[in-house]
Structure 1
Amino acid sequence: MPETINGREKIKAYLSANDISIASLATMYGMSKQDLSDYLAGRKKNPQANRVILKIISDFKLS
């Protein structure tokens, strides 16, 4: 499974710079705050986590 640390860091930096909470982002993607928080922290590393990280990067054009 590919490592997503760079993507996770880009997302966290974007959220911080734009004053967006993890809870708000989780709501936008129809998931729990805890799941998204685990994905962004790297505590959950599975195909679903990778898909969510890649989707957020794509949606917000963070590449």
Structure 2
Amino acid sequence: MPTIEPGRDLIKKYLKENSISISKLASAYGIPKQDVTDYLSGRIKAPKGNRFILKVIRDFNL
């Protein structure tokens, strides 16, 4: 099974370069900030987290 790690890194880099906070990203998707933090750090590797990572990549054309 492929890893989602490169996607997490891509999102974190994009957020930093564009001064977008995790709070703002969480708010935009209507999910708790802690969930976004866990998804981006890799603490939660459930399918739900992977779907979120892939959705952000698609939505931001990363």
- Aligned identity (percent) is 56
The normalised TM-score by structure 1 is 0.95
- Residue identity matched to 2:47: P
* Runs of at least 4 residues off by over 4 Å: none
User: What residue in structure 2 maps to residue 24 of structure 1?
Assistant: 24
Counterpart check, 1:45 vs 2:54: no
State the 1:2 CA deviation: 3.5
The normalised TM-score by structure 2 is 0.96
Q: Aligned to 1:24, what secondary structure does the other structure show?
A: helix
- Residue identity matched to 1:40: L
Unaligned runs of 5+ in 2: none
Unaligned runs of 5+ in 1: none
